[in-house]
Chains A and B, each alone.
Chain A
Amino acid sequence: MPTIILDFFRAVWRGPFGPTGLVILGICLALAILGPAIAPYDPVARNYDAAGKLLRLASPSWQHWLGTTLLGRDVLSQMLVGARPALLVGGLTALGTVLIGVNIGLIAGYFGGRIDSFLMRLTDMFLGLPFLPFIIIVLSLTGRSLTTMVIAMTLVMWRSTARVVRAQVLSLREMPFIAAARITGASDLAIIYREIAPNIMPIALVSVAFALAWAIITEASIGFLGFGDPSVVSWGSIVYDAYASQMMYRAPWWVIPPGIAIMVLVSAVYFVGRAYEQVINPRLRTG
């Protein structure tokens, strides 16, 4: 396992896009950890000016670099605090997705036959499930929290990973080294997890990247639609507040930063994912 992670960094570090993505991801990770500590104000506190008047929709200034919201809250502080839910929800969902997806793909691909058709039928059903509407319904029925969000998203997202992994396992299964392992008397489980699993790790890592990107966007979309955890300030919920106040057009500093933050973070994830994909699949390389 550690060698695969090391290989991953070594592979991504080549080319211009990979390192850019890694650096941005590093910065976001630092913000997710330190954000609440370095935020200049309490993100939900109302701020007043020297005369004691509420700072409604104040434009950017030295005191409030990104201005304030309709309720006089500091946008920069909200931005800094918002990195944590984005990465936490994204990261946990990506992890859960890959864990379920890889195992289902391995089992379906290796055993084939009835097990395979059952699992693939199940995957097809999940592929037909409208993603965002399903998450919103689950959240509204079971309570709006980050935990529910992660569980609901994981429950649906494993479908794509399972498909990709299964296809890979189908071709690996016929390789001579699998036959060799079987002759030495290795059990099915040993063959799946010791022989095949290490070979699908690269594909699984690419899946992690795409799941992470998708989960971050979804978390923001849920926040924007107003179904996020009401006690958490996230980049999506900042846009929702601005949208719901109907004042966003008078305060671009309130709406533009969260969108840019999401865009930069998700682009970084794509850059890293694609850079790695090009290394494991040289046919994708340009020219």
Chain B
Amino acid sequence: MAGYLLRRFWHMVLTLFAMATLMFFLFRLLPGDPTATVISPSLYPKAQEAMRQQFGLDRPLFEQYLLYLRNLLVLDFGFSFQTNRPVFEMIQGRLLNTLLLILPSMFAAYLLGAVIGAIAAWKRGSAGEVGLVFTATALQSAPLFWLGMLAILLFSIKLDLFPIGHIVTPGLFPEQDWRMYLSADFLHHLALPFLVNTLYQLCFPLLLMRSTMLSTIGEDYIELARMKGLSERRVLFGHAARNALLPLATTLPMILGWAVAGSVVIETVFSWPGLGLLMVEAISRADYPVAQAAFLLIAVLTVFGTFIADLLCGLLDPRIVYA
């Protein structure tokens, strides 16, 4: 297990390094002045020159690259074009907001998906099951941003049950302190994006659980459980479902990554001030240092999530560790 852990950790570091490198060259291969993505064009020429030296932009590309890596390691992402504040300051709070929205809803989606999927497999062939599979496929096919907009249209505008977007009522917590996250107002704002994201993310584990369980039905151990005279319910939930949980767990890394990457969409619809929204806004304002830092942080989340989920899978299924 220790060897497996070490190997996975090394892969994670390698992947992050590759991504940082990719970003460096992507942002510098732009047509025109390569420094245009690092130094705000709106600064005075003198200030631009000072920054050019500070970031080593007057040096050869390779030296710039080393400096860039060093700056990343000490979390120095440069300055925002928009506010001229350090990028790190702008990103800090955003990370927590994204995690608070995505993690609980992914957790709920997998839990509910496994349970509903198992029930669907149990009731296979019934009209209810066909309807459920049809609905889940349709929901999975709908664009998440559109589902979010419909939810706002219905629950916020027509029924006036939830606020429209944002993380708390604007002006309620002028200094973004931690008490904000404990308020009822925060939960009220979280509810709708949480529900929409959960409903959307639920479809994949549900359909997978159902089809994995159906494919175990021909297995010997299921046959044996039937021969022992167990009820259909015990055969399915005691034997088939347990084994179907394993393939479900192995998809978690991938799906977590998708969900974090997909936060761009859900955060935009609900004006949720997380990393995804920060990135979208930064790009539309050509605030490249912020965009780059937000992207790298999303990438770190994705890769780190994969790492943790891989470890969990290794614990659940020792065959993975020794493969």
Q: How far is the CA of A132 from the CA of B145 in the complex (A)?
A: 13
Q: A129-B299, A224-B143 given as contacts; is B11 within 8 A of A243 (CB)? A: no
Q: Which of B223-273 contact A (CB under 8 A)?
A: 254, 257-258, 260-262, 264-265, 268-269
Minimum CB–CB distance from B262 to chain A (whole Å) comes to: 6
Whether B264 lies near A220 (C-beta < 8 A) is: no
Query: B42-50, B66-74, B211-219: which one contacts chain A?
Result: B211-219
Whether A125 lies near B124 (C-beta < 8 A) is: no
Whether A137 lies near B26 (C-beta < 8 A) is: yes
Q: A121-B14, A141-B26 given as contacts; is B146 within 8 A of A129 (CB)? A: no
CB of A270 within 8 A of chain B?
A: yes
Whether B295 lies near A133 (C-beta < 8 A) is: yes
Q: How far is the CA of A20 from the CA of B258 in the complex (A)?
A: 29
Q: How far is the CA of A209 from the CA of B143 in the complex (A)?
A: 17
Whether A137 lies near B141 (C-beta < 8 A) is: no
Q: A128-B303, A141-B27 given as contacts; is B137 within 8 A of A270 (CB)? A: yes
Query: B83-91, B100-108, B186-194, B277-285: which one contacts chain A?
Result: B277-285
Whether B211 lies near A258 (C-beta < 8 A) is: no
Q: Which of A119-146 contact B (CB under 8 A)?
A: 121, 124-125, 127-134, 136-138, 140-141
CB-CB nearest in chain A for B254: A127
- Say which residue of A130, A255, A262, A284 sits within 8 Å of B261 (CB atoms): A130
**Which residues of chain A have C-beta atoms less than 8 A from B142's C-beta?**
259, 262-263, 266
Whether B257 lies near A127 (C-beta < 8 A) is: yes
- Say which residue of A130, A221, A226, A283 sits within 8 Å of B257 (CB atoms): A130
Whether B11 lies near A121 (C-beta < 8 A) is: yes
- Secondary structure at the B interface, as helix, strand, loop or mixed, is helix
Q: How far is the CA of A267 from the CA of B23 in the complex (A)?
A: 35
- Say which residue of B37, B254, B295, B306 sits within 8 Å of A134 (CB atoms): B295
Q: A121-B14, A136-B279, A137-B295 given as contacts; is B306 within 8 A of A128 (CB)? A: yes
Tally B residues with Cβ within 8 Å of A.
Answer: 56
CB of B125 within 8 A of chain A?
A: yes
CB of B153 within 8 A of chain A?
A: yes
CB of A252 within 8 A of chain B?
A: yes
Whether A213 lies near B141 (C-beta < 8 A) is: yes
**Which residues of chain B have C-beta atoms less than 8 A from A124's C-beta?**
11, 15
Whether B143 lies near A236 (C-beta < 8 A) is: yes
Q: How far is the CA of A239 from the CA of B142 in the complex (A)?
A: 13
**Which residues of chain A have C-beta atoms less than 8 A from B27's C-beta?**
141
CB-CB nearest in chain B for A265: B141
Whether B299 lies near A130 (C-beta < 8 A) is: yes
- Say which residue of A138, A220, A225, A239 sits within 8 Å of B26 (CB atoms): A138
Whether A248 lies near B149 (C-beta < 8 A) is: yes
Whether B143 lies near A262 (C-beta < 8 A) is: yes
Whether B264 lies near A132 (C-beta < 8 A) is: yes
Q: Which of A255-277 contact B (CB under 8 A)?
A: 255-256, 258-259, 262-267, 269-271
Q: How far is the CA of A256 from the CA of B151 in the complex (A)?
A: 12
* 6 further interface pairs, Cβ-Cβ under 8 Å (given A224-B145, A262-B142): A128-B302, A136-B283, A243-B145, A255-B149, A263-B143, A286-B124
User: What would 7 A/B residue contacts be, using CB atoms closer than 8 Å?
Assistant: A128-B16, A129-B299, A137-B295, A225-B280, A255-B150, A255-B153, A287-B214
